Chain A
Amino acid sequence: MARKSTTQRVVVSTIGAWFFGFLIFFPILWMVLASFKTELEAFAIPPSFLFFHWTTENYATVQERSDYLLHAMNSIIIAGGSTLIALLIAIPAAWSMAFSPTKRTKDILLWMLSTKMMPPVGVLVPIYLIYKTFGLLDSRIGLVFILCLGNLPIVIWMLFTYFKEIPRDILEAARMDGATIGRELVYVLTPMAIPGLASTLLLNLILAWNEAFWTLNLSTSNAAPLTTFIASYSSPEGLFWAKLSAASTLAIAPILVLGWFSQKQLVRGLTFGAVK
């Protein structure tokens, strides 16, 4: 009896899991499908699911109308650059807070987190004016800088929790074994921290890639990443669903592929420390 009910439960929960998985994935699937429809079919009621006239003309139009590769390159530079700089700042910061905390460490961490609670729009005007003064509007460096600052608290927090998990005893054992700080770093700490660093890097890359508020407000053409590129398809003369879908599909494709191949690290990164 027990075995039977277990099997039933497994079947039910599997179906349930697939159902909810599909539900969550459906908008993305719909978007990809719409990108292969004509504008008329994309609007059609009732909508056609798979049996429509498949076309790649939207992709051609999108590439013709705006330079996808330029925007993709901007996205790579902005997301990659801001992530790398954030890591460079966050690693020593998290390191020192994890391994030689002071009585103020907790306050500092909470203060950092509190900055994420502020709505970005609250500081849009001063930042816009500062950027204007320094000529940083519509520049890659300007976006790298602002996204780096925006994500820094999360990066520091994630790395801090990772480093915290590395037992002090192991570092002390290395010290007893005669490792200098440098060698301790190379032989003991880095190998142990790599999974944490990798998932922090990935998550931050995705956050920066998807960031739309600052990129939309601070860039127009030269430095515009893919988020701005998508937004340009919601034009005043009406929505072009099929083309918008094609642009969106192109925009999310790189990060989707990256996410797919690194899901193990990502899940680990997001649940790290939750269970021993």
Chain B
Amino acid sequence: MGQITLQGVQKSFGPVHIIKGADLEIADGSFVVFVGPSGCGKTTLLRLIAGLEDVTGGSILIDGKNVVDTPPAKRGLSMVFQSYALYPHMSVRGNIGFGLKMAGLRKDEINRKVEAAAATLNLTPYLERKPRELSGGQRQRVAIGRAIVREPKAFLFDEPLSNLDAALRVQMRIEVTRLQKQLGTTAIYVTHDQVEAMTMADKIVVLNGGKIEQYGSPLELYERPANLFVAGFIGSPKMNLVTGDSAAQKGAATIGVRPEHLKIDRDGTGGWQGTIAVAEHLGSDTFLYVDAGPLGMLTARYIGELSLHAGDRVSLVPDPARIHRFDASGNALRN
């Protein structure tokens, strides 16, 4: 079991409020991603759950039990750090088995569990090596091995893939997701990379300025962002946000249209007119960055190749069913 509940969790460092009251319900076995810009408090929130920081207010329940006064080791959680934080003087075997040794398990039992974890993570040939003799990806796997071997109630991941190169990151992303599904253990994963968030999560928590902006499934966040911040943060390239007359016509202070919901019309006169500033041809997609005068820069995405180039005039027509409306304070207006 690994159900985690946050009730009004607050954290201040002196006069600075990092977490301004977080309420959250994380179901057992789910994969929850904390995402947000740097400094939004996502790592702090994770460390509060881990017990590496003390809360200033509120409570954290793990399987219904308040753990705010419980030391990290007794919370039954394990953590994978951004820097891997492997013990440099211990072999891979020693690293993975350290938690079990601390728990007072017998040596043969530790070995059996360590070997099983190593087999799951393809680390068996490296068991006797020191961390410095491993590549970045292997080190990351050792860190994950150290987390899974203790059979915790939940895994806490603190930007674990950010030190890996792009290709390895994609591979590890898939491996981590698969492993979590296979083990069925609750996971909380912190990242600033919204692609990681969208691809890995069952549910995403979007944090900004120490507040939870929205909590929901990736598609919920994509399709029904609760406010301007979430609308702008989730989705790549970013949602186009337009104010002024176009918005007023729809009865909103701001309207948002995702780049993929703008129809690109070569010689049309309807919609939003503009000149292409930059055209990116990826083969699978074409991204157009269009200077639309008073509306600012708009981004449009076309699936496939579209032979338009910088300097061409285009008109962009938003899909009326896919327009997001926001009021003056930035909250979404539902129809």
Contact = CB atoms under 8 A, between A and B. Distances in A.
B99 A172 contact: no
A179 B85 CA distance: 15
Contacts of A187: 87, 98
7 contacts: A169-B82, A172-B81, A173-B146, A174-B98, A177-B98, A188-B87, A192-B88
Interface residues of B, number: 23
Contact of B81 (A173, A180, A191, A192): A173
Given A178-B73, A179-B73, A187-B98, A173 B85 contact: yes
A28 B81 CA distance: 52
A106 B31 CA distance: 42
B87 A176 contact: no
B161 to A, nearest CB: 16
B81 A169 contact: yes
Contacts of A179: 73, 98, 102
Contacts of B18: none
A119 interface: no
A176 B77 contact: yes
A183 interface: yes
Given A176-B50, A178-B102, A170 B72 contact: no
Interface of B: 50, 52, 71-74, 77-79, 81-83, 85-89, 98-99, 102-103, 146, 150
Contact of B52 (A167, A175, A180, A188): A175
A169 to B, nearest CB: 4
A192 B99 CA distance: 18
Nearest to B143: A173
Given A179-B73, A179-B102, A187-B98, A174 B78 contact: no
Given A173-B86, A177-B73, A178-B74, 19 more contacts: A167-B83, A169-B81, A169-B82, A169-B83, A169-B85, A170-B85, A172-B79, A173-B79, A174-B87, A175-B72, A176-B72, A176-B73, A177-B146, A178-B73, A179-B73, A180-B73, A187-B98, A192-B88, A192-B89
Interface residues of A, number: 17
A177 B99 contact: yes
A180 B103 CA distance: 11
Main secondary structure of the interface of A (DSSP, over half): helix
B232 to A, nearest CB: 32
Interface in A155-210: 167, 169-170, 172-180, 183, 187-188, 191-192
A176 B103 contact: no
9 shortest interchain CB distances as A-B pairs: A178-B73, A169-B85, A177-B99, A178-B102, A173-B85, A191-B89, A169-B81, A176-B79, A170-B85
A168 B157 CA distance: 16
A121 B50 CA distance: 55
B110 to A, nearest CB: 12
A183 B102 CA distance: 8
Nearest to B80: A173
A173 B81 CA distance: 8
A146 to B, nearest CB: 37
Contacts of B87: 170, 173-174, 187-188, 192
B81 A177 contact: no
Contact of A176 (B78, B86, B89): B78
Nearest to B52: A172
B100 to A, nearest CB: 9
A247 to B, nearest CB: 44
Contacts of B102: 177-179, 183
A22 B24 CA distance: 71
A178 B81 CA distance: 16
Nearest to A168: B85
A176 B88 CA distance: 17
A172 B46 CA distance: 13
A49 to B, nearest CB: 48
Nearest to A191: B89
Contacts of B71: 175
A240 B99 CA distance: 66
Contacts of B50: 176
B132 to A, nearest CB: 13
A179 B77 CA distance: 13
